[in-house]
Amino acid sequence: MRTKAHITFSLEDLEVEAPIGTPLTEIVAKSGADVTFGCKSGTCGTCRIRVLEGADNLSTPSREESDFLRKLRRPSNERLACQCCVKGDVIIEYIGA
């Protein structure tokens, strides 16, 4: 059984591993990736990321997150990094607010 996820921050060419279930906020803090977090509760939109590969390997978006991004008219491959936990390998890029 797999216990680690491989996370790639494409714009920084940075790759890290983390235990499955780890919030992306923790992964960013430990890796030194340049992802800005604002409110950390999914209400400011500062930490938007584009999921380039492995969207199904992030936690299921909350209703609040989906509603927030829909109001911003964001495409379906965007998520709020502050709301994500990893379930497997994922490639993302930070796009910010």
Q: Are 51 and 83 in contact (CB under 8 A)?
A: no
Which CATH number do you get for residue 89? Answer: 3.10.20.30
pLDDT tens digits, residue range 76-95? 899 999 999 999 999 999 99
Question: How many other CB atoms are found less than 10 A from the CB of residue 53?
Answer: 13
In angstroms, the CA 43 to CA 47 distance is 10
Domain that holds residue 31: 4-94
Residues 71 and 57: their CA atoms lie apart, in Å, by 24
Kind plus residue range of the DSSP H or E element containing 70: helix 63-71
- What is the spatial distance between Cα 30 and Cα 21, in angstroms, rounded to a whole number? 15
pLDDT tens by residue, 41-55:
888 889 999 999 999
- The total number of structural domains that make up the chain: 1
